[in-house]
Amino acid sequence: MNVKRGAVVWLTGLSGSGKTTVAHALADELTRAGHLAYVLDGDRLRDGLNAGLGFSPEDRAENIRRAGEVAALFADAGVIAIAAFISPYRAGRDGARRAAGSDRFFEIFIDTPIEECERRDAKGLYRRARAGEIADFTGVSAPYEPPLAPDLHLRGGSVEESVDRIAALLAERGVIA
């Protein structure tokens, strides 16, 4: 096993931006290279650990707080935790960084235009939000605070290019060889 040290790779962006797709492709690539990697995503955590939380600002903050703590535990165990969460508030992402430690937390902003996110929306969430059926939907009726200084800002490009850029960042920062 090729483990240098655990880390948290935190992918943030709007619903439909490609976070989970990139997360799984990155995990596959890291695993093929002999690294321990695990994907944490909003749907997975909301089906279990965070099942009782809604989408109010307070519940969103608690969802991200819990996700950040879990990701930090994975990193403590030597795993590269790849967290794919909208995580709309900077304060929540900053809290996840504090939980993991700044030296092993990497904030990756998947910056996809909302029009593209809506085009990709297989669940029809944007349509429902715009029709008023979903309250507090990030990017429509609830805010998204983009990172001010992410470790990596991804705009466009293929999934493979995104994975390559994230892997290069992890290598540069001594997480992987």
Q: Is 102 a catalytic residue?
A: no
Range 49-73 burial, b when 16+ CB lie within 10 A, else e: ebeebeeeeeebbbbbbbbbebbbe
Contact 49, 147 (CB under 8 A): no
CB-based contacts of 109, cutoff 8 Å, min separation 6? 12, 13, 146, 147, 150, 152, 153, 154
Active-site residue (options: 15, 17, 56, 87): 87
Q: How many CB atoms lie within 10 A of CB 146?
A: 13
Which positions are catalytic? 87
